Amino acid sequence: MNPCLCSHIVIPEAQRRILARLAQFGDEMQEAWDVPRELSLPGLAESLGVVRSALHIPLSSMEEEGLITTRTAHVIGGGSRRRTVVHITETGRQALSDNVPKSATRRGRSHGPLPDKSVLHGRDEASEDLAAMLTGGTSVLLSGLPGVGKSSLAREVTEHIINSGWTVRWASCSIDTDASAIGEMWLGESLSDTSSIAASAASQRTLLVIDEAQELHSRHSVGVAQLIEHVISRDSTILVVVRSPSPFGVPEGLSEIILDGLESQHAISILPSDLDEKEALTVAEKLAGHPLALHLWSPGETLPERVEAVQEFVESTVMRRLSEGGMSTLDELCLSPTPLEIEELFDESGTLELDEAAILRWMGTITEPHHLIRNVRRGSWPPDEVKSMHSKAAGLWATRDGARARRIQGHHMINAGEMDADWMSENIGDIANQDSAAAAVVLEQAVEISDSEPVREAAADLALDRGEVSIAENHISELRPGASSKMRSARVARMRGDTETALELESSAMSEMAPDERAKATISTLVRLHDDRLPGRVPESLSSELILLADSIDLSGLPESQRAAGNLSIELVRHSIALDSGDLAEAARARTLIESSIGEDDNAIALLDLRSSLSSLTEGSTSPEAINAARKAIESCEGIYRIRLIHVTLESMDKYPDWLVEAHSSIIEFRLRDDLPMQRRLCAQRWYWRGVLEPSNRLSHWNEAVSRFRMAECSSAANQLISKIAREI
């Protein structure tokens, strides 16, 4: 076809939508080996909101006119089999350009995993009304049956809102999502305090979205409900999308809108265009205008007798048409606690069949069955068969390495009734290090089916590490009385700011401990007390208390292999106190002992020497030589020691040079572990310094620092910072 004739062609609306979708991808895709799923027939049908068979006629006509070409190619994340993909031609691009009205430039912004936009049928009025409510300041809980189109409507609404100049922050939930994960999707950084998340995310002309809220595990739904309350209290607008019933009801301040199926005249637009109108209306009525059910229906299939029987239709018709391979892959996906990459499947043979049947929902390259189908399929399994399936899956995942494999294996073991306390103790740390929210879910599930003391202890410890005091308290109350239970209760008291009770519990626990355990516990207390303050010199009163405590520690009860490490911790505290008090002889003595323990090339020695040089003042100021040495040291190292070097350098200055501010910005993304006390304290200090260096966000950063100090059991530091915040206000 001659490109110059394109301007004379008026393209039908169905073809224009197809071309507009294809035009979002460059010409380089026509020769690419790996092609995005959006260019495959199932992906194209999904984005256009129609059944796949509805594409046959317009695609055939467009290919004859030279507007598109088709070929087979490997689809990214779609398994090993090649699929038919569609590309727009240069002629097609010109025809689209001549037929598409010029639209206004998008002015708003979006953050988070915003789904791809799809064509929505019959929801124009609902979309406009909902957008008007939200931009008018009304927060909404959008609920309805699975597959009725809640997320698609929410996505359409956000498009209107973004185009009106608003900012949209989107979060999608899964079983492992907690309030912190929602904050990270909204903001791009991890916060633990729900009030800090709300303060940072909420602002004028901003819509916050929480999608798929029904997927939240009960372990995390309370925290998410608290986050929603904080957002509402700040007069911010939020849209919560949830399948009925909501895991937290209808939070106060939200108006509930229940989404029903489409009216028949709109529902038929999802079906093939060559279908007889009378038959199409019958299909739409029988399936109650349910969008997913309409996508799943194929011409000639039996329809339910009652409009309420969508689930019956899925079970009796959709499932039965699947091949053995399709059903095997579907079962594996339904059994999984989380969406999977196709490459993660042990049986991917049915992937293409499931995708072409509109059974899968995709999030990038990971997939899962639509929740309606997943729920129906899970409900059809006999209890004994479910346990057998989980047992088999646990064995398969046991053959793979990594924390994600352990998280999924743990889920299958628990549901197979094969919970192993030793396995849990051995692996929960790795799971938590990658995703503590996922580890919390695994432990909560394990506790529900087991009364194992070690599992309960692990659940309490993880809750304490995450700063979830009430949850930790509940687990501790179920533990046997004894020293370990009292030490955990002492942690709870410290996190609540009740220092007196914490000391009483800790003292009582230590009196019951063996000498080696008592020595280790006392050393931990010494280090924590030293760190329980805002950055700066150790106050004299605290110095005296720390020296007395250090002198009282008896290391003779420790095994020889642990004695050196215990002594090293004590000498590091003594060295810090000596520098702050100006006792250079004591500092030199402690440094010698430290060096003999860890060697002269260790980063810790460099940190000690840098701190010594920075603490030596020349005419009341840190010497330029010391500052230059600090800069070189910071530029030459990474990770934990880089963070600590930067903090030490910041402590030594009243004014902060640009290079040091930039250096601190560079360590913000470095992940610190919740399960290590020193790193929890370091994280709190990092948030403190962010508040110092970023005045415009000082209050929200310091609120997060307060939360982090409490998580690190540094109640004195938290209280000191609260006083500073009060003065700022």
Return the pLDDT at 77. Answer: 85
Angle 505-510-516 from CA coordinates, rounded to 5°:
155
**What is the DSSP-derived secondary structure letter of residue 74?**
E
Nearest to 538 by CA among 368, 716, 336, 718: 716
| Helix, strand, or coil (residue 517) | helix
Element housing 143 (H / E): strand 139-144
Q: Are 206 and 112 in contact (CB under 8 A)?
A: no
Element housing 296 (H / E): helix 291-296
Return the pLDDT at 172. Answer: 96
Return the pLDDT at 103. Answer: 56
Element housing 70 (H / E): strand 68-75
Neighbours of 658 (CB within 10 A): 7
Which residues 6+ apart lie within 8 Å of 105 measured at CB? none
Return the pLDDT at 9. Answer: 65
Which residues 6+ apart lie within 8 Å of 596 measured at CB? none
Q: Tell me: the pLDDT tens digits for 502-549?
A: 999 999 999 999 999 999 999 999 999 999 999 988 999 999 999 999
Return the pLDDT at 616. Answer: 76
Angle 393-397-403 from CA coordinates, rounded to 5°:
135
Nearest to 472 by CA among 431, 435, 440, 512: 440
Q: Are 58 and 15 in contact (CB under 8 A)?
A: yes
Could you say which of 1.10.40.60, 3.30.1360.40, 1.10.10.10, 3.40.50.720 is the CATH number of the domain covering 3-99? 1.10.10.10
| Helix, strand, or coil (residue 208) | strand
pTM: 0.87
Q: Tell me: the pLDDT tens digits for 542-580?
A: 999 999 999 999 998 888 888 988 999 999 999 999 998
**Can you say whether residue 582 is alpha, beta or left, with left for phi > 0 and alpha for psi between -120 and 50 degrees?**
left
Return the pLDDT at 306. Answer: 58
Which residues lie across from 367 on neighbouring strands?
A: 340, 362
| Helix, strand, or coil (residue 41) | helix
Return the pLDDT at 411. Answer: 96
Which residues lie across from 139 on neighbouring strands?
A: 254
Instruction: Return the C-alpha torsion angle 563, 566, 571, 574, nearest 10.
Output: -140
Low-confidence ranges of the chain (pLDDT < 50): 1-7
DSSP 331-374: HHHHH-SS-EEGGG-S--TTHHHHHHTT-EEEETTEEEE-HHHH
Which residues 6+ apart lie within 8 Å of 150 measured at CB? 142, 143, 144, 241, 242, 243, 259
Helix, strand, coil fractions of the chain, as percent rounded to 5: 60, 10, 30
Nearest to 728 by CA among 708, 710, 701, 712: 701
Report the top-level CATH class of 109-259.
Answer: alpha beta
Say whether the peptide bond before residue 245 is cis (omega within 30 degrees of 0). Answer: yes
Neighbours of 7 (CB within 10 A): 12
Return the pLDDT at 5. Answer: 44
Which residues 6+ apart lie within 8 Å of 9 measured at CB? 65, 95, 98, 99
**What is the DSSP-derived secondary structure letter of residue 319?**
G
